[in-house]
Structure 1
Amino acid sequence: MATAGGPTVRRRQLGAELRRLREQAGRRIEDAATHLECSMSKISRVETGQAPIKARDVRDLLEWYGIADPQRIETVMQIHKDAQQQGWWAHYGDVLPSGMATYAGLEADAQVLRSYESMVVHGLLQTEDYAHAVIAAFQPNRPDETDQLVRFRKERQALLTRQPDPLELWVVMEESALRRPVGGKEVMTAQLRHLAEVTALPNVTLQIMPTSKGAHAALSGAFSLLEFEPHTPTVVYVNSMAGNVYLEKERDVRSFIQTFDLLRAAAPDPQEAAVLLEQITREMQDS
C-alpha cells in the first residue's frame, strides 16, 4: 500500500484501503454505516476521500474487518494521522468556492496536470490582473473575497517552480480564449506576454487550438487530468456552473485520457504556440 503524498492524497489512500478491507471482509456499505451508527453517504464519502473520519472509528472498523496484524493497523493509522494535516489552502477556506479546497489539495499532490481550457487562460498561467478580472466577473459585489482568491491563485502557481519536483503542466487552450480581452487590452496584452514567458519553462507545455480547426473531441467543455505517484489513481476534474465533479472510475478516466490525446493530436505542435502568441499580441496592440 502506497503511503507517500500530501493530506489530500493520504485521505484518498485511507478511503481506498478502508473500502478494500470492507470488501475483503464481505461487508456492505450499509453494514459499515450501521456499525458506526452513521449514514451510508458518510461511509461512501470516507471511502472516496471526501470526508474525514475519527481515529477511533478507523480502529473500530479495522477490528470489525478482522485486521489483527499490529504493523498493518499502524500503517493505516499513520495514513489517517497524515490525512489530518492542513494544507496551505486551508487559510482561504472562508472564501473558496465549494470543492475548491479539494481540488487545491489534489493539484498540490499531483506530479502531472493535463488540462483543456476553452474559455479562459488556465489558472496556473494567469497574471494577477487577468485573474482579478476573471474572478471579479463571477462575483462583482465581493471585492475583498476577490483579492483573497487572486492571492490563492498566485500561491497555486508556485507549483510550477517548486523544487526539486515542479509540477508538469500540459495545457491545450482555445485560440478564442486568447483573443478575448479580459480586463481590457492592456491586461490581456500583458497576459499574452506572460504566457510566452511561462511556457518557456521546461515543465510547461502549451498547445493552442486554432478556431479554424472547427469541431474537435472536447467541445463539451474544459477538464483536467491529475496524475500522481505510482499506484495512486488518476483523477479527472470537471468544473461547471453546476459544481465540481471528480471522476476516478477507470472507464471514465480512460475516456478523458483518450479525449486529451485526440486534442493533442489535433492541435498544432507546442513549438507553434509562441508564433501564434506573438501574432495575437500584435493584433491586440493594433486593435
Structure 2
Amino acid sequence: MASRPAPTARRIRLAAELRKLRERAGLNSTEAAQMLGTSSGQLSNVESARFGVSPERVRAMANVYSCTNQPYVDALVDMAGEKTRGWWWEAYREVLPSGLLTLAELEHHATAIRTAFTAHVPGMLQTAEHAREIFSKAIPAPTPPEVEHRVSHRVKRQDVVFRKNPNPYRTVIHEAALHMRVGGRRVARDQLRHLISMSLRDHITIRVLPFDIGAFPGSGQSINYLCGPVPELDTVQLDQFHGPLLVDAEAHLEKYRRLLDVVEASALSPEKSRDLIQVITQNL
C-alpha cells in the first residue's frame, strides 16, 4: 500500500484552526461530530491533518461552532479549496529538509512579508553567489550538489518578490550584516548593489538599523513575519540552528507585530538606508 503524502503546511494550519474553533465553542470531539453528522474518528483525522476537508465542510463546521468572523471563515474556506500538490517546492522534498519546503509554501501564500535580520542579508534579497557562500559554510559540511540544491531553492523562493503583482515585502537589516564580506570583496559588493537595486522597487522597503542605534528589541533573533489573508492566519518563522521554527499562537503573533513596529521605527528611512548601503559599497 502506498504511503499517504505528508500534509502541507497550509493543511496542518487549517486543521489546527478548525480544532481551535471547536474548542472555543466549548464542544468535545464527540459532541461536535454528532452535530456535524460524522464520527469522532473522522473529525479527529481532519483536526490532525491526516485527512483533507472540503470548503463546504469548513463552512458547516464554522456554522456549528457559531463563528461569526466572516473574513476568517472565508480565508479558511479558501485554504480548504486550494490545490495541495504540484507546487515547485515539491521537487525538493527528497533533497532538502522539510522545514525549507514549508517556508517556501508559506512565503508563496503570504499576502505580505515583514522581516528583521541582525547578522545576515535576508534570503529573499540574496544573490546566488552570496547564498552559495553561506550554504557552503554549513555544519556538517554539505556536498557540492547539496549546496546547489539549496541555492536553486533559495533563488526560486525569490519569485515572491519578482512575480507579477507581487505583495509588499518590508525588511530591516542591521548595519553589521552589510559590512560582512561574505564571499570576498567582489561578492559582497555585488550583494550590496543588489540591495540598492531591490530597494528601488515599489513593493520593497529596506531599512537599515545603524550601529549607533545601540540596543534594540529582538537584537539576537532573525524574524520572518508572514502575513495571512487575515491576521488570525499570520505565521512567524524564526531561524534555529536545527531548522526553521514556526509560531502562530495569537499572543505571540501580536508580540512580534509590536516588535517589528518598534524595530522599523528605530531604523533609518528607506532613502537614508539606501544612502548608507551606497557608502558601504563604495568603501569596500
Shared fold by TM > 0.5? Answer: yes
Matched residue, 1:234: 234
Is contact 1:224-1:236 (8 Å) kept? yes
Instruction: Name the counterpart of 2:175.
Output: 175
C-alpha deviation, 1:177, in angstroms: 0.6
* Contact map agreement 2:15 2:49 (CA 8 A) in 1: no
For the Cα contact (< 8 Å) 1:209–1:268, is it kept in 2? yes
Change (3 A) 1:261 1:25: closer
1:154 corresponds in structure 2 to: 155
Change (3 A) 1:275 1:94: same
Tell me by how many angstroms 1:248 deviates.
1.4
Residue 12 of structure 1, CA deviation: 2.4
User: CA–CA distance in 2 between the matches of 1:105 and 1:211?
Assistant: 34
* Partner residue, 2:283: 283
The answer to whether the 8 A contact 1:172-1:263 is kept is yes
Provide the residue aligned with 2:27 in structure 1: 26
- 8 A contact 2:58–2:77 mirrored in 1: no
1:53 aligns with 2:50: yes
SS for the counterpart of 2:82 is helix
| Counterpart code for 2:147 | T
Letter of the 2:27 partner, please give it. G
Report the counterpart of residue 131 of structure 2 in structure 1: 131
Whether 2:260 is the aligned partner of 1:255: answer no
- Alpha-carbon distance in structure 2 between the residues aligned to 1:185 and 1:116: 24
Q: Count matched residues.
A: 260
The answer to whether the Cα contact below 8 Å between 1:116 and 1:173 also exists between their aligned partners in 2 is yes
- Per-residue CA deviation, residues 153-190 of structure 1 (Å, 9 max, x unaligned), is 111111112123x0311110011111010011110011
Q: What is the identity, as a one-letter code, of the residue corresponding to 1:141?
A: P
Distance 1:66-1:106 versus aligned 2 partners, 3 A rule? closer
CA contact 1:129–1:183 (8 Å) conserved in 2: yes
The TM-score normalised by the length of structure 1 is: 0.78
**DSSP-derived class of the 1:251 partner:** helix
* Residue number in structure 1 paired with 2:110: 110
Q: Which amino acid aligns with 2:265?
A: A
Q: CA deviation at 1:150?
A: 0.7
CA shift, 1:235, in A, is 1.1
Distance in 2, matches of 1:205 and 1:63, equals: 41
Distance 1:280 1:60, change over 3 A: closer
The AA in structure 2 aligned to 1:209 is L
Contact 1:115–1:171 (8 Å) recurs in 2: yes
Preserved CA contact (<8 Å) 1:25 1:65: no
Cα gap change, 1:11/1:183 in structure 2, threshold over 3 Å: closer, same or farther? same
Question: Which 10-residue stretch deviates more, 155-164 or 227-236?
Answer: 227-236
Task: Tell me the residue number matched to 2:72.
Answer: none
Report the alpha carbon displacement of residue 78 of structure 1 after superposing the two structures with TM: 8.5
The one-letter amino acid of 1:261's match is D
Instruction: Find the aligned partners of 2:109 and 2:56 in 1 and give their Cα distance.
Output: 26
TM-score scaled by length of structure 2: 0.79
Q: Take 1:212 and 1:78, find their aligned partners in 2: how far apart are those partners?
A: 46
What corresponds to 1:17 in structure 2? Answer: 18
User: In the alignment, residue 227 of structure 2 is paired with which amino acid?
Assistant: E
1:36 matched residue in structure 2: 41
- CA-to-partner distance for each residue in 1:172-211, whole Å, 9 max, x for gaps? 0011111010011110011111111011100101111112
Q: CA deviation at 1:149?
A: 1.1
Alignment-derived partner of residue 273 in structure 1: 273
Matched to 2:50, the amino acid is I
CA contact (8 A) 2:232 2:250 kept: no
Conservation of the 8 A alpha-carbon contact between 2:10 and 2:79: no
Distance in 1, matches of 2:81 and 2:50, equals: 11
Matched position secondary structure for 1:107:
helix
Distance 1:113 1:231, change over 3 A: closer
Whether the 8 Å CA contact 1:161–1:167 is kept in 2: the answer is no
Partner Cα distance (1:61, 1:247) in 2: 23
Cα RMSD (Å) = 3.5
